[in-house]
Structure 1
C-alpha cells in the first residue's frame, strides 16, 4: 500500500435509475458517447488517472488540484452545451465533488478519508455543478478564472467533523484564449435568414396546418446549421397573411435573406414552391417546386422540409461567395475569412491550401471563440496532412488534434465540428472514433448533405458498401445541387459492392478525373475483363501521377476488411499495375 497527498474527483450521474428505466439501451449508448468524446479526453488532457467506474459514476485521481478543477469545469461546461438541444427528461447530467487529502493506494484502487469526503460532497453538488472542499478552493482561487461561492460548513454522512464547502461556477472561460488573440473582438458576421409563413393557396382551411407546419419545420432544420443565423418563428409569424415588402421585413428583422413559399392542393396532389431572396438587392437567388401525391401529408412535410433544409444553406453560401468576389473587402470578418478559406480548400491544390490556411488563421485570430473556424482549420490542415503538403506531418497532426479539441470545447452541438472530426479520424485510420463522431453529426443534423454523404463513405470503409450507396444517393436527393465529388464517393461505394458497371457510370459524371478516380475505373474494367479500357485508364493514372506506386496507393485506403483491400489490389493488377498483393495483406492486417 502507498499513501500520498492527492486530489480526488468523484462524479455521479443524476437521475441514472430514471433514465435507465425509460430507455436503457439509449442511455448506455449516450453515456458511452459522452465518455469517449468528452470525459475520458478531458481526464487525459488534465493529467488525471481514472481509478474506477461504476454504472453511473467514477473516481479520478489528480496530482494537481488545479488540474482536477480544470477537468471538472471543462466536463460540466461542455455537458451544458451538449444538453442545450436535449429534452429535460433525457439529459445526462453529472454532479462532481473534489477533495484534497491523504489517499491510500492499493492494487489499482484508492481508499481513505479523503476519498470518502470527495464522494460525500459530490452528493451535495448541484446537478451540472461542482462542489469542492476548502483545501481545494484555497489552492485554485487565484489560478483559475471561475467564480467560487462559500457554502459554509456542512455535516457529511459518516464524517464526524464539519467540512467547509465551496461551489465552483462554470460561467467563466473553460479554456484560456490563444495568447495573441486575448483582446481580439468577436467578428462573426453569419448570414441571417428569415423564413416567412408559407401561403396556403389551396382555398382549403384544412391545409393551413400543413403550410404552418412546413414553415416551422424548415425553421427548425435550418437552425441546426450553425453557419446560419435563423430568425425565430415568433418573429417571422408576425407576417402571416400579410402583404410583405421584402426590404422592410428584412430591415425590421435584421435579415439578409428571406425564404418565401406556398402550398397548393390540386386533387390528390400537393405542390410546394419555395424561393430564396436576397433582401438587400431584392433579387431572387434560387427557386424550386416539389410535387407530391397526397398519400401521407406528414411524410410529404418531412420530405420537403429535408430537401429545402439541405439545399438552402448551399444557395446562401454561394450567394455569399459571389458577394465576396464582387466586393473584395479589405478587412474581412471571421465568417468571411472562413468562407473564402472553404472555397480555396475545395480546389484541392497546394497553392490554394496555403492560401486557405492563411485565411482560416485570420478567422481564428479575429474570433478565438468561433468553433466553426477552428473545425475548418483542422480540416484545411488535414488536407495538407493527407496529401503530404507539409514538412513535419507529426507536428501538423498535433495541430489538427488541438484544433478539433478546441472546436469541441467551444461548441459540442455543431454538426460540422463532428463531421470534420469523423473525416480526420478516417484519414488517420481511427474508424471506431470516426464512427462515434459521424453518428453524433448525423443526430445533430440528419438533413445536412455533407454529413449524409459522409455516412455513405464511412459505411463503405466499414465493409457495408450497399448501405453506403443508399446513403450517398440520399445525399444527392437531399441536395440536387450537390458537389460533383459526390459522384466519386458513389463510384467507390459501387466498386466495393462489386457493382462495376454502376461504379464506372458514377465516375463518368465527373467533369475531370484525378489519378485516384482513374485508378478505381481501371480496377472496374480489370474485374470486367476489358483489358483495353483497363490499361487505358492505368495509363491515365501514370500520366497524372508519374510516381504512382501500388503499395503506396493501397496504404491511402481505409478499408476495415482485408478482402476489400485485396479486391482493389487485384483489380489494379488486372489493369496493369505491378505488385501489391503482399502489401495489401500487410496493410489490411494493421
Structure 2
C-alpha cells in the first residue's frame, strides 16, 4: 500500500438538490459549464489533478499546498464573477475545503484521512468560502498575500482528533482594475524574471535536446521552442498584458541565440486563451519544446510561474515560481540569476548569463515605465486603426510621467509609422514627421539597451526608405538584425527593406531564413514574399502566397499580380476586398507607404491598381 503527503481540495455546490428540483436541465448545464471552463483549467493550471467527480462536487490532489490554496481562491473569485451576471435563483455557490495530509494511493484514486478531513472542512465552509486545516494555514501563512481567520478547534464526523479550522479571507479590499501607475505592476523586475527563465530554458534545451533528438523542430540541427502567453490568473483578469509581456521578453531574448530556434509571438500567441494538449500545440507549431506559465498579483506581491515542456512527450522538464513584493526589482533579479545560472557549470553557462544581461541592460530603473510600454504594445499588435490610436495614447500618457523614456518614445514612433504603413493615417506626412523626430530622439541616447536600440534602428530603416536613402536604410536594418539575429519577424520585415533597396534576392533569402525558423509566421513572410515575387516577375508565385494572407495591403499586391496575369476580374475583386477592410485606402496613401530605389516599380504597380479600381485619392 503506497502512501504520500498531498494537499487535497474538496468542493461541492451548496443547495444542489434544490436547484435540480427547480431546473434540472439548466442546473446541470451550468454546472458542467463551470467545470469545463473554470474548475478543470484552474486546477490543471495550478498543477493539480481531479481524481474524483461526484454529481455536485469533486476532489483534487495537489503536490503543493500553496498551489491548492491559490487555486481555491481563483475558483471562488471566478464563480463570483460568473454569478454576478446570473439571476440570484440560478446562481451556483460553491464551498471548498483543503487539507494537507497523508493519502493512500490506489491507481488514480486517493483515500485516507487526508481526503476525509478535506471533505469535512468543505462542509464547514460558507457558500462562496474556503475552509482549511491548521496544517494548511501554517504551511502557507508567509507565502500568500491573503489572510486566514481562525475558527478554533472543531470536531468533525468520523475523525477522532479535533481539527484546527481556518477560513481564508479571500477579499481584504474591493476588487478593481489595477491603475495605470502601479507601485509594482509590470516592472523592470519582470525583465529579470524573463532573463532568468531564458537562462534555464536555454540551459535545459542545450543539455536535454541531444537526448530527445526525435522531437519535432523547425530545424533538425537545432532545438526549437514556442513561448505561449502566460495565463492571467488575477482575480479581475487585469494582467493579460503582463502575461503577454513576459512571454514576449522571453521570445526576444531567445532570438539572440543561434543555437535555439524560437517561433515568433504572432505564431505562439495564436494559442492565447485556448486550452489544448501541449503535444498537439508543439506539432502544429513544429517545435520540440513549449514554454508556458502564469502571472498573478495579490496585494503588493507579483507571482510568475514558468514551465518548460517537452512537446513530444508532454513531460515537464523544468518549472519554477518567481515571487516579488516591494519596490526593488534588482534584488530579486540578482537572486534569480545566482540561483538559476549558478546551477549551470562550465563556459556555456557564463556565456548565456552574459548574453541575456547584455540583451536587456539596465538603462531604466523605474518600476512603472515598462507597464505603459506593455499596454501600448498589446494595442499596437492588434494591427487595427483603433489599436494604433490607443497605443499612441498610452505611450503619450506614459511620456507625461517619464518624459525622457526611450522605450515609450520609440513605441510612440512605431504607432505613427504603422498608421501610414497600414493605410490608416489621415495625414501621412505628419505621422511620418512625428515618427522621424521620435526615432532621432531615441537614437541620440547613447545608453540604450540592445532591445530598445533594435526597435529604434528598425523604425529608422523604414523612415529612411521612404526618404529614398536606401543605403542608410539597409545599414539601419542590419543594426536591428544584429540585436536579434534570429528573430523571424525582424528578418521577414527586413525583406521589405532590402526589396525596396533593389536587392530582391537578398530579400527572398531573409524570408526563407525566417520561414525555416518559424513556419507558423507564414501569414507575414508570404505577405513579404508576394511583393518580392512581383518584382522578380514571378506573378503566379505571388498569387499563390498572397492568397494565404490578408495582412496590411496584401489584397492590393494580389490585385497587381492578377493584373499582370490578365485576370482583371480577380484584380478588381481583390481591390474591393481591401476597400471593405480599409475604406480610406487610395493609390496616394498606398504610395506613401512604399519607396523603391527604382521608381518605375512603384509607378507600374500604381498604374495596375488604378486599372483594378483603386481610387486615386487627393495629393497630400
TM-score of the aligned structures, taking structure 2 as reference length:
0.41
Q: TM-score, normalised by structure 1?
A: 0.43
